[in-house]
Amino acid sequence: MSGILFLCIHNAGRSQMAAGFAREMSQGRVTILSGGSEPADQVNPIAVDVMREIGIDIAGYTPQRFTDELLNSVDVVVTMGCGDACPFIPGKTYLDWPLDDPKGRPIEEVRRIRDDIRTRVEDLLTQL
């Protein structure tokens, strides 16, 4: 089974939304994980709201720091704005998605970010 790790700084917005889409779209065929370099205390409430609008619940997830164990358990690592704080392990496929951070943005902008993430996740899953 393939695995994808979505990484951003706080593991509270972009990576949580991407993981939510990937879990939903892959229907258990792909291991989906997420993490951050500086995890927040909770998932961004606006990210939770915009995902709930489309029927995906990410409220029960907790931001976590990425670990070597997480990195070693996947084939693909998708980074989203964590720059040099994101790790690199040879032999993994790395993708960097230049996405705006939804933190502090109005809900209309977070919806746009959500929709961009959905398109990217769809494309990624068709490539696996």
Structure-block tokens of residue 43: 């998932």
Is 46 part of the annotated catalytic residue set?
A: no
Active site residue 86: yes
**Other CB atoms within 10 A of residue 62 CB:** 12
Residue among 12, 47, 74, 86 flagged as catalytic:
86
User: Which of 43, 82, 113, 117 is an active site residue?
Assistant: 82
Residues linked to residue 7 through DSSP beta bridges, in sequence order: 35, 79
Contacts of 105 (CB under 8 A, 6+ apart): 46, 113
* Given the residues 4, 7, 8, 77, the one annotated as active site: 8
82 is catalytic: yes
Q: What are phi and psi of 91, to 5 degrees?
A: 95, -10
Q: Active-site positions?
A: 8, 82, 86
